Amino acid sequence: MNDVNVPVQSLKTMIISMISAVLLAFIILVAFIGPAEYGIDPTGLGKSLGLTVLAQPLQESVKKVESCPTGVQLADWQDIVKITIPAKSGLEYKFYLQKNAEIIYAWSSEGVLYYDFHGEPAGDKTGYFKSYRETTASVSEGVLTAPFTGTHGWYWTNDTNKAIQITLKTKGQYRVKGLI
């Protein structure tokens, strides 16, 4: 009654399709992924499309302190704040810095958090922000030399089922904005 004839692909057609898929994947790897991820651009197409910029390391506006900030005596810290990140939630804590001002920081938490250490230029209405470091960790320390005047700080996300407390210690030329 309802005979549906589904065409069965021949072995030759399947081999040609598979070779085409592998060839296309190789072209995408060489032309786009190589330049964007690894800075390898044998064709020059990645440079002309601006993809090689993605493979370059971020500007070092965040640097490790040679004499580690945790070596700073407790009395030497300018500000120490405890921030609780609720379960399955995120919070942002900011400082206002002038261009080229420095903030020395060290924070630790009771558990691993995703964080984005970033800054936003003062007066910018476009939503632009510059990420300095974005990863997951339970501790971080360093020095930020502000590349522009504006707010700089962290957005932490707690993906666990319990609240996590952060202890943030800072010292430098800044104005505390606090929780945003």
For the stretch 64-82, pLDDT in tens is: 444 444 444 444 568 899 9
Q: Phi and psi of 107, rounded to 5°?
A: -135, 150
- Checking if the pLDDT of 120 tops 90, the result is yes
Q: DSSP characters for 1-56?
A: -----PPPPPHHHHHHHHHHHHHHHHHHIIIIIIIIII---SSSHHHHTT-HHHHS
pLDDT of res. 73: 46
Q: What is the pTM of this model?
A: 0.58
Does residue 91 lie in a domain region? yes
Same domain flag for 81 and 147: yes
> Tokens 């040609």 correspond to what residue?
16
**What is d(CA 175, CA 96) in angstroms, rounded to the nearest whole number?**
5
Categorize the per-residue pLDDT at 57 as very low, low, confident or very high, splitting at 50, 70 and 90. low
Determine the average pLDDT of the residues in 31-43. 84
- Checking if the pLDDT of 104 tops 90, the result is yes
Determine the average pLDDT of the residues in 55-66. 46
Same domain flag for 106 and 43: no
Q: What percent of the chain has pLDDT over 70?
A: 86
> How many domains, in total, are found in the chain?
2
pLDDT of res. 46: 82
- Checking if the pLDDT of 173 tops 70, the result is yes
The residues pairing with 164 across neighbouring beta strands, listed in sequence order, are: 85
- Our separate counts of H helices and E strands in the chain read 3, 8
SS3 21: helix
Does residue 27 lie in a domain region? yes
Structural domain for 37, as ranges: 11-55
